[in-house]
Chains A and B, each alone.
Chain A
Amino acid sequence: MIIDKLKPQLDSKPEILEAVVIRFVGDSGDGMQLTGTQFSDTSAMFGNDIATFPNYPAEIRAPQGSLYGVSGFQVHIGSVEVSTPGDNLDLLVAMNPAALKTNLYALKPGHTIIVDSDSFSKKNLEKAEYTTNPLEDGSLENYRIIEVDMTSLTREALKDIEGLDNKIITRSKNMFALGMIYWMYNRSTEHTVEFLNKKFKATPNLIEANTKVLNAGYYYAETLELMPNSYSISPAKMPAGTYRIIMGNTATAWGFLAAAEKSGLELFLGSYPITPATDILHELVKHKHFGVKAFQAEDEIAGVTSAIGAAFAGDLAITTTSGPGLALKGEAIGLAVMTELPLVIVDVQRGGPSTGLPTKTEQSDLLQAMYGRNGESPVIVLAASTPANCFNFAYEAARLALEHMTPVILLTDGYIANGSAPWKIKTVAEMPAIKNNKITEVKENWHSYDRDATTLARNWAVPGTLGLEHRIGGLEKDSVTGNISYDAVNHEKMTTIRSEKIKRVQFNIPDLETEFAQEGDLLVIGWGGTYGSLHSAVKQINMEGYKNIGYAHFNYINPLPKNTGEILSKFKKIVVCELNSGQFASVLKINFDTFEFLQFNKIQGLPFGSNDLIRKFKELV
C-alpha cells in the first residue's frame, strides 16, 4: 500500500520547516482547486504567510485523464515571509498518471509524491502516454513515493452512507488527500469541516460523506507507521491585525469600491469579458448594494467609451481589460486625454502579441500603456506588484485620476491577478483622502479648461449643474476658452500642458525606496508583478553574504518617482529584470541616458525562477 523508497525516518517529533511548496494536481473534475484553497486558507488562519497560484487548462472541460486536462493548484506556506507561490515543490499530490507526468519536473529530488494508486490503470497510463507504469518501472527512484489506494479507501469510508452514487464517491477522494496533508503538516480539519457544512447546507448526506472522507484521510495518515514523518510550519511573524485571503483581481475590484466610497462618487465599470481580467467584472457586478453600475458592453471600445460617458457625467469611471483589449481602447483613451476626464483603465497583462498566451503571464504591455495611442497622449501608468497590493494600486489609480483629471492605466498581470495571498484588511477610514476637481459654483468668465495652478488639473463641471453648460470633444481646444482651436501655437501649448500635467504627478506620489543595500555594486530593478520573485531572490543572495546588492521595485511607471536618478547613481551596476525583452529598461534609458542598464529578461509566459535570478546576480558582482 505504501512504498517508501527512501529509508523511513523514525523521529516522531514533527520536523520544523520554514516554508514548504505543495502542488495539488489532478483531472479538471478532481477538485484540486478546492483542495488547494482549503489547505492554503487553513494555513493562513493558522498564521502562516501564504502565496498561491492556480493553473488550469484553457479547455473548459478537457477529456478525463488526458495530459492537457490536468488542473493544478500550488501553495507556498511559510513561517517566514512568503512572496511567491514557490519555484520547486516539496510535495506533489498527483491524482492520476497524467497529473504525475506533467508535474514531476517541478519536484525537488528526494521529495515526496502522494499518488492515488487506484488511478494508475492501464487505460489512464495510456492516456498519459506512459508505456510502463512509473510506480513499477523504477523511474521514480529519486523520489519518496507514497502510494495510497485513495479511490477504494474513499469508497470503503462511504459504504454506510445511503444515497451516494459512484460519481459522488469518486469526487470525494480529494477530501481524502486533503485529510492526509492536514495530518502531515499538523493542521486541524476544523476550518474545512465548517466550510463543508456551509457549502452542502441543503444536502446533509454530502456534508457527512465529505467530512467522513476528510477524517478518514487524516486518521489514515496518522495511523500508518510507514508514514515517513510529519512536518510543522510555525506561524509567520506578520503584523498584528485582521486578515483574509484575497485574489489579485478581487483586490483590484475592492480597491475601486473603497475609492468610490472615500471620494463620495458612484462607481461605474464599462467592461467586456477577456482573460485574465474578467474576474474584476465578475466581482464588481455583485456589488449593486453599494450602487456600483457595472455595464457589460458589446465590445472593448464600448467598454471604455461608456466609462468616458460616465466620467463626463460625474462618476468614478473605470474599464478593465487585457492587452488585446487595451489595443482596441487606444483611440478612446486618447479622447479621455484630450477631454481631460478622470478614467482608470486596468490591463491585466497576458502573453502577446495578438491572442498570444491568454492564460499565461507577461509584462509586455508596458510600452503599449505608455505610448499606444495616436498623437502625444501621456497618461499616468501604475503597476501593482502583489495580489494584495492590487487593492492599494486600484485605489491609487482612482485617486490620481480624480485629482489630476487624466486617464490612468493600471497594469497587473495574470500571475498576481489569479494568485492569492493574505491581506491585512484595510478600512476605508485608514485610506488616504481623495480630492476631486468638481465645481458647482458659477463664476464669471468661467471656462471648462480652467486649471488648478499647482496640478494643472482641469475643473470638472458635470451635466446637471446649472450655469456650467459646456462642450468638450476630441478636437483640439483653445487653452483659455475651451472652444475648438486649430491655432498652431495653441496646439503646441496644449500639448505641453498635457505633458506637464502628468509630470507634476511626481509631487503627489511617494519616493522610490531601496531594499537591502542602499548603495553598492549592483542595483536590481523590477516593476509590477515580479516583486515576489525578485524580492525573494535578492533576499536569499543577501543572506548568503552578498551585502552589496540593492533592490528597487517600481510601482509608478509614468511619471517615475522624482528620486529615481538619485537612487540609480548609488550603484555601480544596474540590472533591469522583466518578463519581456526590455521595455522598462528602454523607458529608463530615455529618462536617464547617462546610466548603463543591463537586462535580465524572460519571455516564457512564466514568472522568474529564483535560481536563475541568483545565478545572474552573482555573475554581475
Chain B
Amino acid sequence: METTIDQKYTSKDFTSNQEVRWCPGCDDYVILRTMQKVLPEMGVAKENVVFVSGIGCSSRFPYYMETYGIHSIHGRAPGIATGVKLANPNLSVWIATGDGDAMAIGGNHFIHVLRRNIDLNIILFNNEIYGLTKGQFSPTSLIGQKTKSSPYGNTQPPFSPGELALGAQARFFARVVGNSPKEMGQIFIEAHQFKGTSLIEVLQNCVIFNDGCYDQISDKEVKEDKQIFLEHGKPMIFGKNRDKGLVLNGLKLEVVTIGENGITQEDILIHNAKEKDTTLHHMLIKLEYPLATGVIRSFDDVTLEEREAALTAQVKANSPFTKTDDLFFSGETYEVK
C-alpha cells in the first residue's frame, strides 16, 4: 500500500536539472508540466515515486522528473514496473510509453499488465506515429496515412487503445487530448488514487511528423463541441452551450439536443465509470462524435499485490518454516557418522 504524507511540495521539487530535449511545441511538454504540477497534490513522498519508460520520445520522461526513474528498453517498461512494484508495493509507480512502445513491440506486456491489475499507472502518449525513428506508421496510424514507411498510404488497420485495453480486462481507462492540461491533471490524480492498473491515453500532437493529427477535435474553437468530458455520476452533456447530450437508442449511443423533440436533461445518460460491465464503456470508447474523454472506466477490483500479500500471510501462518535451515533439515535426512 502506498503511504500518504503531509509534506508540501511544489512542482519545482519534481523538476530535475536535466535539459528537456523534446521538439519545441511538442505536447510532451504539456504532459511533463502537468505531472510536475499535480504530483504535489497527490500526497506521496518524492522518494517513493518511480517513473519507468521504454524507448521512444515519450520514454525520455523519467530523466526530467526529480524522482527515482529507469529508462529501459523498447516495449519492456511494464515488466520493469511490475518488478519494481512487487518488490516494494509502497512505491507509486508510473509508466511513460508511446503507441509504438506499448502496442507494437511491447504489445504482449501491455495486455498482461492490464490483465493482472497491479497498482501502477500508465500514460500512453498516442501521436499515431513513430517520432524518435523519424516518422514511420505506428499501430495507431490511420489507414491511408502517408508516412516514411508508407509513402503511398498505410495499409494496416489501427488499434483502438481503449478497446484493446478493455479486452485485456483494464479496470481503469481514461482519455484526454494533449492540449487540455486541466483535465489531464485531474485524470492523473484520479489514476493515482485508483487501486489497480490505470491507463491514460493522451492524444498528443507530433509537431514534426504528424502535425495537426487531432486538430479536428482539439482546436480551441471546436473542442467543446467535438469532445465530451465524462465524469462519474454526472450526465453525459457536452457542447459550447451545454445543450448536447448522449442517450441510448437501441444498441447505439445517439447525440440529442436538450430542448428539441421533447428531450429534457432527465433523458440524458448518467456516466457510471464504476460499472463492472464494459458494454457502455466500449460504446463510449468507440464513439467518433463526440470523442469521449475523461475517466471512461474506473472499476474497483482486487489488485495483484493485494492477492499476493493475502496469500503470503496465509502461507506464513500455516508454515512450519521460519528460516531456510528449517527447510533444509526437514523431511527425509540421514546421518553419516
Q: Across the interface, do A257 and B324 meet the contact criterion of CB distance under 8 Å?
A: yes
Q: Is A414 an interface residue (CB 8 A)?
A: no
Q: Which A residues touch B332, using CB under 8 A?
A: 41, 45, 244-245
Q: Across the interface, do B91 and A464 meet the contact criterion of CB distance under 8 Å?
A: yes
Q: Is B122 an interface residue (CB 8 A)?
A: no
Q: Which B residues touch A484, using CB under 8 A?
A: 18, 63
Known: A254-B327, A310-B87. A470 touches B18 (CB 8 A): no
Contact of A295 among B78, B83, B90 (CB under 8 A): B83
Determine, out of A66-74, A296-304, A382-390, the stretch whose residues face the partner at the interface.
Answer: A296-304
Q: Is A288 an interface residue (CB 8 A)?
A: yes
- Within the complex, the shortest CB–CB distance from B147 to chain A, in Å, comes to 26
Known: A306-B80, A428-B325. A469 touches B46 (CB 8 A): yes
Q: Is A130 an interface residue (CB 8 A)?
A: no
Q: Is A305 an interface residue (CB 8 A)?
A: yes
Q: Which A residues touch B63, using CB under 8 A?
A: 471, 473, 484
Q: Which B residues touch A313, using CB under 8 A?
A: 50, 83-84, 87-88, 91
- Within the complex, the shortest CB–CB distance from B331 to chain A, in Å, comes to 7
Q: Closest residue of chain B to A293, judged by CB?
A: B86
A interface residues, tally (CB under 8 Å): 73
Known: A41-B332, A244-B332, A463-B68. A312 touches B80 (CB 8 A): yes
Known: A254-B328, A314-B87, A428-B324. A306 touches B79 (CB 8 A): yes
Q: Across the interface, do B47 and A465 meet the contact criterion of CB distance under 8 Å?
A: yes
Q: Across the interface, do B112 and A469 meet the contact criterion of CB distance under 8 Å?
A: no
Known: A306-B80, A315-B87, A469-B68. A474 touches B315 (CB 8 A): no
CA distance A470 to B18 in the complex (A): 11
CA distance A13 to B73 in the complex (A): 70
Q: Closest residue of chain B to A475, judged by CB?
A: B71
Q: Is A598 an interface residue (CB 8 A)?
A: no
CA distance A469 to B15 in the complex (A): 12
Q: Is B295 an interface residue (CB 8 A)?
A: no
Q: Which B residues touch A298, using CB under 8 A?
A: 108-109, 112
- Within the complex, the shortest CB–CB distance from A41 to chain B, in Å, comes to 6
Q: Mark interface residues in A205-236 (1 if CB within 8 Å of B CB, else 0).
A: 00000000000000000000000000000010
Known: A293-B87, A473-B62. A332 touches B76 (CB 8 A): yes
Q: Across the interface, do A471 and B73 meet the contact criterion of CB distance under 8 Å?
A: no
Contact of A305 among B46, B72, B323, B336 (CB under 8 A): B72
Q: Which B residues touch A249, using CB under 8 A?
A: none
Q: Which B residues touch A315, using CB under 8 A?
A: 87
Q: Across the interface, do B88 and A302 meet the contact criterion of CB distance under 8 Å?
A: no
Q: Mark interface residues in A422-465 (1 if CB within 8 Å of B CB, else 0).
A: 00111111000000000000000000000000000000001111
- Within the complex, the shortest CB–CB distance from A227 to chain B, in Å, comes to 29
Contact of A331 among B45, B73, B86 (CB under 8 A): B73
Q: Closest residue of chain B to A244, judged by CB?
A: B333
- Within the complex, the shortest CB–CB distance from B82 to chain A, in Å, comes to 5
Q: Across the interface, do B71 and A288 meet the contact criterion of CB distance under 8 Å?
A: no
Q: Mark interface residues in A559-594 (1 if CB within 8 Å of B CB, else 0).
A: 000000000000000000000000000000000000
- Within the complex, the shortest CB–CB distance from B103 to chain A, in Å, comes to 15
Contact of A307 among B69, B83, B88 (CB under 8 A): B83
- Within the complex, the shortest CB–CB distance from B164 to chain A, in Å, comes to 15
Q: Is A335 an interface residue (CB 8 A)?
A: yes
Q: Is B27 an interface residue (CB 8 A)?
A: no
- Within the complex, the shortest CB–CB distance from A318 to chain B, in Å, comes to 11
Q: Is A317 an interface residue (CB 8 A)?
A: yes
Q: Across the interface, do B84 and A299 meet the contact criterion of CB distance under 8 Å?
A: no
CA distance A313 to B45 in the complex (A): 16
Q: Is A552 an interface residue (CB 8 A)?
A: no
Q: Across the interface, do A242 and B87 meet the contact criterion of CB distance under 8 Å?
A: no
Q: Mark interface residues in A321-342 (1 if CB within 8 Å of B CB, else 0).
A: 0000000000110110001000
Q: Across the interface, do B84 and A469 meet the contact criterion of CB distance under 8 Å?
A: no
Q: Mark interface residues in B49-87 (1 if CB within 8 Å of A CB, else 0).
A: 111110100000011011111111100101111111111
Q: Mark interface residues in B298-337 (1 if CB within 8 Å of A CB, else 0).
A: 0000000000100110011001011111011101111111
Contact of B71 among A308, A332, A426, A473 (CB under 8 A): A473
Q: Is B16 an interface residue (CB 8 A)?
A: yes
Q: Across the interface, do A288 and B323 meet the contact criterion of CB distance under 8 Å?
A: no
CA distance A463 to B71 in the complex (A): 14
Q: Which A residues touch B51, using CB under 8 A?
A: 471
Central interface residue in A47, A239, A268, A309, by most chain B CB within 10 Å: A309
Q: Across the interface, do B334 and A240 meet the contact criterion of CB distance under 8 Å?
A: no
Q: Is A258 an interface residue (CB 8 A)?
A: yes
CA distance A470 to B70 in the complex (A): 9
CA distance A68 to B153 in the complex (A): 54
Q: Across the interface, do A261 and B90 meet the contact criterion of CB distance under 8 Å?
A: no
Q: Across the interface, do B316 and A469 meet the contact criterion of CB distance under 8 Å?
A: no
Q: Across the interface, do B328 and A427 meet the contact criterion of CB distance under 8 Å?
A: yes
Q: Is A60 an interface residue (CB 8 A)?
A: no
Q: Across the interface, do B324 and A302 meet the contact criterion of CB distance under 8 Å?
A: no
Q: Which A residues touch B11, using CB under 8 A?
A: none
Q: Is B145 an interface residue (CB 8 A)?
A: no
Contact of A339 among B65, B66, B70, B321 (CB under 8 A): B70
Q: Is B48 an interface residue (CB 8 A)?
A: yes
Contact of A301 among B62, B79, B333 (CB under 8 A): B79
Q: Is A371 an interface residue (CB 8 A)?
A: no
The residues in B between 7 and 29 inclusive whose CB is less than 8 angstroms from any CB of A are 16, 18
Known: A309-B87, A339-B70, A463-B68. A302 touches B79 (CB 8 A): yes
Q: Which A residues touch B91, using CB under 8 A?
A: 313, 463-464
Q: Which A residues touch B328, using CB under 8 A?
A: 244, 254, 425-427
Query: Hey, which bits of chain A sit against chain B, CB under 8 A?
Result: 41, 44-45, 47, 235, 238-245, 254, 257-258, 261, 266, 268, 270, 287-291, 293, 295, 297-299, 301-315, 317, 331-332, 334-335, 339, 424-429, 462-475, 483-484
Q: Please give me the 6 A-B residue pairs with the lowest Cβ-Cβ distance, nearest first.
A: A309-B83, A473-B71, A305-B79, A289-B319, A306-B83, A313-B87
Known contacts A242-B334, A243-B335, then 14 further A-B pairs from the complex at CB < 8 Å, ordered by chain A residue: A254-B328, A258-B324, A289-B315, A289-B319, A290-B324, A297-B79, A309-B82, A317-B87, A428-B325, A463-B47, A463-B48, A469-B46, A473-B69, A484-B18
Listed by A's residue number, 28 A-B pairs whose Cβ atoms lie within 8 Å are A45-B334, A242-B334, A243-B334, A245-B332, A254-B324, A258-B324, A270-B79, A288-B311, A289-B319, A295-B82, A298-B112, A302-B78, A304-B79, A305-B72, A306-B80, A306-B83, A306-B86, A308-B83, A309-B80, A309-B85, A310-B83, A314-B88, A426-B328, A463-B47, A463-B91, A471-B71, A472-B69, A473-B71
